[in-house]
Structure 1
Amino acid sequence: MEKIVIGIDISAKTLDICIKKCGSYSFNVIANEAKAIKVFFKIFQEPKSEIIVSMENTGRYNWELYQVLEYFNFKVFVLNPLHLKKSIGLIRGKNDKIDAKRICEFTEKHEKELIEWKPCSDNIKKIKVLFSERNSKIKLRASLLKQRHLYSQLESIGYDSKFLKMNKKEIEVLEKHIDFLENEIEQLIDNDSDLYSKKQCIQSIPGVGKVLSWMIIAKTEGFTKINNPRKLACYAGVVPFGYQSGTSIKFKPKLSYYADKSLKTVLHMAAMRAVRLENDLKIYYHRKISDGKNKMAVLNAVRNKIIHRIFAIIRTGKLYEKNYNNSLFLS
């Protein structure tokens, strides 16, 4: 069977495409629109060919491709841009055409190690889109709040109060938008019986609120994309890694910089809340602190424990029990 590898470099308006077939390369540039993408991929509907399509994860710029690729029987890979960047070694110069070729070559070389992309459910798609929009609104609100302390410097020219009023109005509008987006996410989850039951289970864990439950459902795609607590803990950046070389270089294990920062932040807030409530995590936290452990290291352990508890109750389908006794352990 003939293998055709297609590497796609994505931008807001165009797709630069590299096609490797029979050892030779060809290049195309098309619009990043569903109609143009459909026309392009119809050429490759050959029954005796194995089509491999690969692209970087660029957030919302991938959406048009995702919509079209659902209807084709291709093997699709969505690459982590950092993984690709770190793997190609020392390079000089770049452009979209070269990037498409590098994606093509990387995919052909590492195909066996990569995880194949699968389309998620319509509800998960909508939740991801809403969450992305919510995050952008929250960043804008944070930026506006930071501007407030600068307005005191404009008092001498009489613009401080005027700018402050404008700032307050803009924040009020953003807060209304955020409320609307959060209500939409909540309704989508509540109207899906499977996602609703998972949300209820997750929120039964001490310290875990609605935002973390939404985020976990979106990131794991309803626990289908990530179905292992260790993978999610690594993805969230709460797993310490060692650093050792020979006999002279050896550092204590520490958290990796490569992590989903938004998920890590929300997990940290959940851990902070959990150690203030009456539950086993609070007991664990204070016991470790009294033993002389570093507070941040213990909090990170609490974050890790929250992730493992989430997967445990999703596996059993039962709400979290505060004083749970394992019958197998007791026997």
Structure 2
Amino acid sequence: MNYELFVGIDISKSTIDVAVVTQACFDKPLHHVFKNSYDGFGLMLEWLSIHGIALKKVLFCCEHTGIYICPITNFMHANDLSIWVENGLHIKRSIGLKRGKSDKADAQAIASYAFSNQHKARPYLLPSATSSKLKHLLAHREQLVRHQTSFKCTCSALKGFDRENAGYCIADSQEMLALYAERIKKVDIELAALITEDQELNEQFSLVQSVHGIGKQTAMFILIHTEAFAAFSDYRKFASYCGIAPFPHSSGTSIRGRNRVSNLANKKLKALLTMCALNTIKKDNEFKRYYDRKKAEGKNAMCVLNVIKNKLLSRAFAAVKRGTPYLLEPAA
């Protein structure tokens, strides 16, 4: 699409800094600050109307700032406008050398990025209400589990080393552990009910879990981060997102390193897939036999596990694409 106006939006909790560049005045961007609310966005559109350019010809761009982008993405969706939500690291590394920092400068950098990379623009797809609810519930569950683990470790240490003087703390910690266990159970019930209500999501959830080694939590995270398998066209791209896809490390004739995975990844998904891979090699099955065979050939254990992680993802994507459960090869 041929855009005529490029709008960079730097989002904070209360306000948005908006910078505008055009083909004619690229070196002199306009700037204004609005509230991070529907009223503020409406005023922004009025301000942009002075250019006399149809909003369909405007490329809006912002960094992904977590929950702070929800108001503007919902506003754009409601008004049938598209916005490009880009990874902040892409924008940061495109700027080059930079001295100092301000919201105005960040907005101008985003507008310049949109102008220079307009051919790469990807309109943001608003996640479904079910996906958003799942994401928030899983994040809440993770927070509860972290607090529960903290109390468990503290209680265990007190019992082992100073039980006599820490009686009250131990008793109170045990009450908190029981409370956290109850809360986590309620969240699990809510998650299960939410997935059951959505027929398509429920089918995908069952298909992903049919892959040996992938449990409920991992299946939920896969569904959320693939946006119900709509955000990634194949498992290789998702494997790269998860940080389990190997990339070459070589240059000229002097650097000939081994292929390695990138540190730019979703660490939570990577950790979950690692646990899944470890679970697959506990009993005799195709993954266990593959692991033992490669280990006997002298392969590094972690490299073999990484291959198994990729196999798990490829089978999950294949099962959803075919619409049939994955069948594990029988033991020899």
* TM-score category of the 2 structures, normalised to the smaller one: 0.7 to 0.9
CA distance in structure 2 between the aligned counterparts of 1:82 and 1:246, rounded to whole angstroms: 27
Q: Are 1:115 and 2:122 an aligned pair?
A: yes
SS at match of 2:29: strand
Question: Quick check: 1:52–1:74 contact (8 Å CA) kept in 2?
Answer: no
1:327 aligned residue:
none
Question: Quick check: 1:205–1:320 contact (8 Å CA) kept in 2?
Answer: yes
CA distance in structure 2 between the aligned counterparts of 1:267 and 1:33, rounded to whole angstroms: 38
CA distance in structure 1 between the aligned counterparts of 2:107 and 2:270, rounded to whole angstroms: 31
Aligned pair partner of 2:113 in 70, 94, 106:
106
CA distance in structure 1 between the aligned counterparts of 2:287 and 2:267, rounded to whole angstroms: 23
Aligned pair partner of 1:210 in 216, 227, 244:
216
| Residues 181, 18 of structure 1: alpha-carbon distance in 2 compared, 3 angstrom cutoff | farther
Consecutive unaligned residues in structure 2, runs of 5 or more: none
Question: Quick check: 1:44–1:51 contact (8 Å CA) kept in 2?
Answer: no
| Residues 290, 62 of structure 1: alpha-carbon distance in 2 compared, 3 angstrom cutoff | same
Q: Are 1:199 and 2:199 an aligned pair?
A: no
Q: Give me the CA root mean square deviation.
A: 2.6
Question: Quick check: 1:37–1:65 contact (8 Å CA) kept in 2?
Answer: yes
Consecutive unaligned residues in structure 1, runs of 5 or more: 325-331
2:8 aligned residue:
7
Q: How does 1:150-229 map onto structure 2 within 5 Å? A: 155=162, 158=165, 160-229=166-235
Q: How does 1:1-331 map onto structure 2 within 5 Å? A: 3-21=4-22, 22-23=24-25, 24-41=28-45, 44=48, 48-49=54-55, 50-148=57-155, 155=162, 158=165, 160-323=166-329
CA distance in structure 1 between the aligned counterparts of 2:81 and 2:40, rounded to whole angstroms: 17
| Residues 75, 3 of structure 1: alpha-carbon distance in 2 compared, 3 angstrom cutoff | farther
| Residues 247, 56 of structure 1: alpha-carbon distance in 2 compared, 3 angstrom cutoff | same
CA distance in structure 2 between the aligned counterparts of 1:43 and 1:276, rounded to whole angstroms: 62
SS at match of 1:70: helix
SS at match of 2:278: helix
Question: Quick check: 2:76–2:82 contact (8 Å CA) kept in 1?
Answer: no
CA distance in structure 1 between the aligned counterparts of 2:298 and 2:257, rounded to whole angstroms: 20
CA distance in structure 1 between the aligned counterparts of 2:98 and 2:261, rounded to whole angstroms: 28
Residue identity opposite 2:141 in structure 1:
R
The superposition leaves residues 94-139 of structure 1 with CA deviations (integer Å, 9 ceiling, x where unpaired) of 1111111111111111121243212222212222222233333333
| Residues 171, 69 of structure 1: alpha-carbon distance in 2 compared, 3 angstrom cutoff | farther
CA distance in structure 2 between the aligned counterparts of 1:107 and 1:173, rounded to whole angstroms: 49
Identity %: 28
Aligned-pair distance for 1:281? 1.2
CA distance in structure 1 between the aligned counterparts of 2:325 and 2:118, rounded to whole angstroms: 40
Question: Quick check: 1:56–1:81 contact (8 Å CA) kept in 2?
Answer: yes
| Residues 165, 156 of structure 1: alpha-carbon distance in 2 compared, 3 angstrom cutoff | closer
Aligned-pair distance for 1:154? 9.6
TM-score of the superposed pair, with normalisation by structure 2: 0.88
Bigger drift between 68-77 and 211-220 goes to 68-77
Aligned-pair distance for 1:284? 0.8
Aligned-pair distance for 1:307? 0.5
Question: Quick check: 1:15–1:29 contact (8 Å CA) kept in 2?
Answer: yes
Aligned-pair distance for 1:197? 0.8
Residue identity opposite 2:117 in structure 1:
H
CA distance in structure 1 between the aligned counterparts of 2:106 and 2:160, rounded to whole angstroms: 46
CA distance in structure 2 between the aligned counterparts of 1:174 and 1:43, rounded to whole angstroms: 50
Residue identity opposite 1:66 in structure 2:
T
Question: Quick check: 1:275–1:281 contact (8 Å CA) kept in 2?
Answer: yes
| Residues 247, 192 of structure 1: alpha-carbon distance in 2 compared, 3 angstrom cutoff | same
SS at match of 2:100: coil
| Residues 134, 40 of structure 1: alpha-carbon distance in 2 compared, 3 angstrom cutoff | farther
1:329 aligned residue:
none
